[in-house]
Amino acid sequence: MALELLKNVILSKTATIYPIRWRSRIYAIAGLALLLGIIVIVTLAVGSTHIPFDTLCRVLLAKLPFIHAEPTWASNIETIIFDIRLPRLLLAGLVGAALAVAGTTYQGLFRNPLADPYLIGVAQGAALGAVIGFMLPISWQVGSIPLLAFIGAILAVAIVYSIARVGKTLPMTTLILAGVALGAFLTAITSYLIIASGDKLHGIISWLLGTFSLTSWWQVAMVTPYIFVGTIIIWLHARPLNVMQLDEEQAQQLGINVEQVKMILLGAATMITAAAVCFCGIIGFVGIIVPHAVRLIWGPDHRFLLPLATFAGAIFLILSDTVARTLLAPTEIPVGVITAFLGAPFFLYLLRQKKRAIF
């Protein structure tokens, strides 16, 4: 297991061919996980209501068992931290992780640097589902919008998948083309509905750009199992995904059941993407840029790339959302605007730095 590798790399008895890269990548995974933890705590303090850091620490410590701290803070502080900021932060982290992992998976499966989690219809299906939800005379509380978005996303991919399938095999190029075509069709319907939406336009547009406002705990609870299970499944298939970077024939000749791996990975990546977008909308850019940035820095080995992208995606979206809710507070900027606005320059900088093949 991973522990065996860890032990071997760190002790490295047969040091001659153990690459130094492995050790640095393992440290990078641990480092990013730690950074994620720190960022979660620090950003809890940031917002329209300023919470001094020492107050935050005391509020957090008081929640731990066996520690009794006298509540010296205003009672609304606790509400802000635990009922408003923490769920929002966690959802942003989960969604960022999910989109980055799904993007890495799609890029690996399609062996295409332009692939992102929305490539084969997830976004268009989710958008249509959500817009239909907005048109219904039911409000957010009923949960029809996320449910319809989730169903729309899964249905769209299922249709694309069944169209592209030839006998027992799934040609990836056909899959992409079917995804693009169905996506265009769904977008046409969505666009018409948006024009016909009248006073619901503002809500629809901000959903389409992606936003975490009004996040509550039940949303976090709903999304977590999907993203957690899907991510674990994908992590476990890191080596087959590496071997599939050769090409399908070579992968088969190395003993990989290519069609089965494709199905499992497509299913898992689609599931976590659908879960990620259904509450907060179509947040762009995370799923395509985070995998590339991580690959540029730490290399293409999916056994390291996938966990690194998971943590990097979470960090990136938490930071983006913090900017989105504080920059023009109390007005919120859609987080999708921020991800592109912050992410694009950083990515262009990385491209300038490396100047070699990036995929």
Partner 1 sequence: MFNLRLDNISLGYSKRTVLHNISLEAKPGEILGIIGPNGSGKSTLIKGITRLIQPISGQIFLDGKDIASMNRQALAQLVAVVPQNPTLPELFTALEVVLMGRTPHLGLLRYEGEKDLATVQKAMEATQTLAFAERRVGELSGGERQRLTIARALAQEPKIILMDEPTANLDINYQIETLDLARQLCREQELIVVVTLHDLNLASQYCDRLVMLSDGRVYCHGIPKAVINAQTIKEVYGAEVYVYPHPVNDLPATLIVSDKDRKVF
Q: Which residues bind partner 1 (CB under 8 A)?
A: 1-2, 4-5, 8, 13-14, 16-19, 21, 111, 236-237, 239-240, 242-243, 245-247, 249-250, 252-257, 295, 299-301, 303, 356-359
**Using CA atoms, how far apart are residues 79 and 73, in angstroms rounded to an integer?**
11
**Using CA atoms, how far apart are residues 256 and 305, in angstroms rounded to an integer?**
20
> Are the C-beta atoms of residues 326 and 51 closer than 8 Å to each other?
no
Residue 200 DSSP class: G
> Are the C-beta atoms of residues 181 and 241 closer than 8 Å to each other?
no
Structure tokens at 141: 């509380």
Residue 166 DSSP class: B
Q: Smallest distance, Å, CB 275 to partner 1?
A: 24
With H, G, I as helix, E, B as strand and everything else as coil, classify residue 169: strand
Q: Write down the residue that tokens 């320059």 correspond to.
A: 345
Q: Which is nearer to partner 1, 7 or 63 (CB)?
A: 7
Whole-number Cα distances in Å, 80 to 48, 65, 193, 283: 10, 21, 36, 25
Q: Which segments of 111-138 does DSSP mark as H helices, in order? A: 122-135
Q: Which is nearer to partner 1, 203 or 299 (CB)?
A: 299
Q: Smallest distance, Å, CB 296 to partner 1?
A: 9
Q: Which is nearer to partner 1, 140 or 359 (CB)?
A: 359
Q: Smallest distance, Å, CB 168 to partner 1?
A: 11
The phi-psi region of residue 111 (left if phi > 0; otherwise alpha if psi is between -120 and 50; otherwise beta) is left
Structure tokens at 156: 């769209």
Q: Smallest distance, Å, CB 248 to partner 1?
A: 9
Q: Which is nearer to partner 1, 64 or 166 (CB)?
A: 166
> Are the C-beta atoms of residues 57 and 44 closer than 8 Å to each other?
no
Q: Which is nearer to partner 1, 58 or 165 (CB)?
A: 165
Q: Which is nearer to partner 1, 64 or 357 (CB)?
A: 357
Q: Smallest distance, Å, CB 167 to partner 1?
A: 10
Q: Smallest distance, Å, CB 348 to partner 1?
A: 19
Q: Which is nearer to partner 1, 283 or 294 (CB)?
A: 294
Q: Which is nearer to partner 1, 93 or 108 (CB)?
A: 108
Q: Which of 295, 237, 240, 296 is nearest to 269 (CA)?
A: 237
> Are the C-beta atoms of residues 192 and 135 closer than 8 Å to each other?
no
Q: Smallest distance, Å, CB 244 to partner 1?
A: 9
Q: Smallest distance, Å, CB 28 to partner 1?
A: 16
